Amino acid sequence: MANNDWMIESSNEAADREPVELHPERPHPARVYDYLLGGNTNFASDRAFAEAALKLNEGTRTTARSNREFLRRAVTFLTRDAGVRQFIDIGTGLPTSPNVHEIAHSIAPGSRVVYTDNDPIVAAHARALLTSEPGTGPTTYIEADLREPATIISQASEILDFSQPVGLLLIAVTHHLKDDEDPHAVVATVVEALPPGSYLALSQITDEFRPEQWHAIEKDFAQRGSVLTPRPREAIERFFAGLEKVDPGLQVVNQWRPEADDVYKDIDAGECSLLGGVARKS
Ligand SMILES: C[S@@+](CC[C@H](N)C(=O)[O-])C[C@H]1O[C@@H](n2cnc3c(N)ncnc32)[C@H](O)[C@@H]1O
């Protein structure tokens, strides 16, 4: 692959060229999340759904934003302190600032980033971003589903050097898988394909602190045909099975290596409601 191009790759190149049906009348998880982050890639239905979630749990907006701060610190740690130079970001979401490649490139400009999401709307926006902004390094988008890890591995291994450590980012995505989709096996399959010295950074919504509110939101998602599965700490711990967590281990994400000017470092655990960590494969 050329080393200086923004590229879009897809598990289905023909589908890439077909117009994407946006369904503005239906709330959409990536756009709802975008609204909670303060973005403008969302419609009235997304805003109404987000506002309903905010009524059920007023911390929902803070949850999204503290998650983004965790993502920034985790990618900074991986690039600056762990020397990782290639990333797979699964469930990347709509582009939002700062994107993973921007964080990595600010520290190590040649870093490679493979973005993946299963949502055609995210693909459309990623395509627009990656073709309109000249990059400072090789950044690629693959349209693929976490529930098909073999596809992601096979396509990513054509782009990344799987003899070198990879930073696998599963940030706020595993809660979009149901228990009967065996998310732990899915995550283990991707981790298994990575070479020693690779890292997993993962965050996921927990029901540890505000169970009633989160299970109400889970129900609301289900009624609208979407999945959100808050999990207890023990289930989130298991995503890191066989890996060595870096300090401070699995934490409420705003407490994972907080930095002085983080906006959400002092919010309480219930308001954050995400557990996350970073772990190394030996
Ligand atoms: C809450 S957003 C998180 C975005 C970003 N990772 C972050 O933390 O800011 C969840 C994203 O995961 C994506 N997603 C949900 N289920 C997925 C799946 N099975 N495979 C790939 N992506 C998925 C959604 O489309 C959405 O863009």
User: Domain map of the chain by residue range?
Assistant: 6-10+24-280
| Three-class DSSP category at 97 | coil
Residues 213-217 have a mean pLDDT of 92
pTM of the model: 0.91
Q: What is the pLDDT of residue 277?
A: 98
Confidence category of residue 135, pLDDT binned at 50, 70, 90: low
* Residue 176 Cα to ligand 1 middle (Å): 7
Nearest ligand 1 atom to the CA of 147 is 19
On the question of pLDDT at 235 being above 90, the answer is yes
Q: What is the rounded CA–CA span in Å between residue 217 and residue 20? A: 28
Lowest mean pLDDT among 25-34, 63-72, 80-89: 25-34
Mean pLDDT of the chain: 89
On the question of pLDDT at 124 being above 90, the answer is no
Query: Is the bond preceding residue 98 a cis peptide, omega within 30 degrees?
Result: yes
* pLDDT, tens digit, 9 for 90 and up, residues 139-158: 889 999 999 999 999 999 99
Probe target for ligand 1 pocket from 69, 72, 118, with the most ligand atoms within 8 Å of CB:
118
Q: Are the C-beta atoms of 239 and 205 separated by less than 8 Å?
A: no
Residues 163-188 have a mean pLDDT of 97
The runs of H, that is alpha helices, within the chain are 13-17, 29-37, 44-56, 60-76, 100-107, 120-132, 149-159, 183-193, 211-223, 233-237, 269-272
Q: Are the C-beta atoms of 168 and 138 separated by less than 8 Å?
A: no
Strand 112-117 relative to strand 251-252: parallel, antiparallel, unpaired?
Answer: unpaired
* Residue 93 Cα to ligand 1 middle (Å): 5
Confidence category of residue 218, pLDDT binned at 50, 70, 90: very high
Confidence category of residue 224, pLDDT binned at 50, 70, 90: confident
* Residue 263 Cα to ligand 1 middle (Å): 23
CATH number of 6-10+24-280: 3.40.50.150
Please list every protein residue whose CB sits less than 6 Å from any atom of ligand 1: 29-30, 33, 67-68, 71, 90-93, 117-119, 122, 145-147, 171-173, 176
**Which of 121, 124, 174 has its CA nearest to residue 146?**
174
Q: What is the pLDDT of residue 19?
A: 66
Q: What is the pLDDT of residue 64?
A: 93
Residues 113-135 have a mean pLDDT of 80
On the question of pLDDT at 12 being above 50, the answer is no
Q: What are the tokens at 189? A: 């399959």
